[in-house]
């Protein structure tokens, strides 16, 4: 087996956070929630699961992390719509901070090392 020809049930997607590997039932079980909760956060456009060839929802690990954060907020009493909006804003802030750090690193002046005595 080589990196160019992955085999197995996930076809080389074992480390891919965006690969839709989990069914709705398994995702709900992993999160300790209901399938209805997953549908509700989908309706609120927090996550959009991919669909299998048969039309079944499939979730990625990244989507499960997002759903878990929404569930934390809902468990603390936040309405689901507000929880979804908070998670979206948190995700946007994280991405903006990452980009800002990249831009700052690219704009940082390159300094020469001090001359050796």
Q: What is the DSSP-derived secondary structure letter of residue 38?
A: H
- Helical H runs in 7-57? 24-31, 35-43
pLDDT at 11: 58
DSSP-assigned beta bridge partners for residue 57: 51
pLDDT at 5: 45
Looking at residues 68-85, what average pLDDT do you find?
96
Query: Rounded to whole angstroms, how far apart are CA atoms 74 and 68?
Result: 10
pLDDT at 4: 47
Query: Rounded to whole angstroms, how far apart are CA atoms 24 and 56?
Result: 8
Beta strands (DSSP E) in the chain are 22-23, 50-51, 57-59
The per-residue pLDDT for range 31-65, each reduced to its tens digit, is 999 999 999 999 999 999 999 888 899 999 999 99
Residue 4, token pair as written in the block: 């160019």
Helix/strand/coil for 110: coil
pLDDT at 108: 82
Identify the weakest region by mean pLDDT among 29-43, 63-77, 83-97, 100-114.
100-114
The per-residue pLDDT for range 87-101, each reduced to its tens digit, is 999 999 999 999 999
pTM > 0.85: yes or no:
no
State the chain's mean pLDDT as an integer.
Answer: 87
pLDDT at 7: 53
């Amino acid at each position: 087996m080589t990196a160019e020809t992955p085999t197995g049930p996930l076809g080389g997607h074992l480390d891919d956070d965006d690969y839709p590997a989990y069914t709705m039932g398994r995702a709900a079980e992993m999160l300790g929630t209901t399938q209805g909760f997953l549908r509700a956060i989908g309706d609120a456009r927090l996550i959009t699961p991919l669909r299998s060839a048969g039309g079944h929802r499939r979730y990625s690990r990244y989507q499960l992390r997002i759903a878990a954060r929404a569930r934390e907020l809902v468990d603390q009493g936040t309405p689901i719509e507000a929880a979804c909006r908070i998670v979206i804003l948190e995700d946007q802030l994280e991405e903006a901070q990452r980009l800002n750090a990249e831009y700052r690193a690219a704009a940082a002046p390159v300094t020469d090392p001090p001359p050796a005595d």
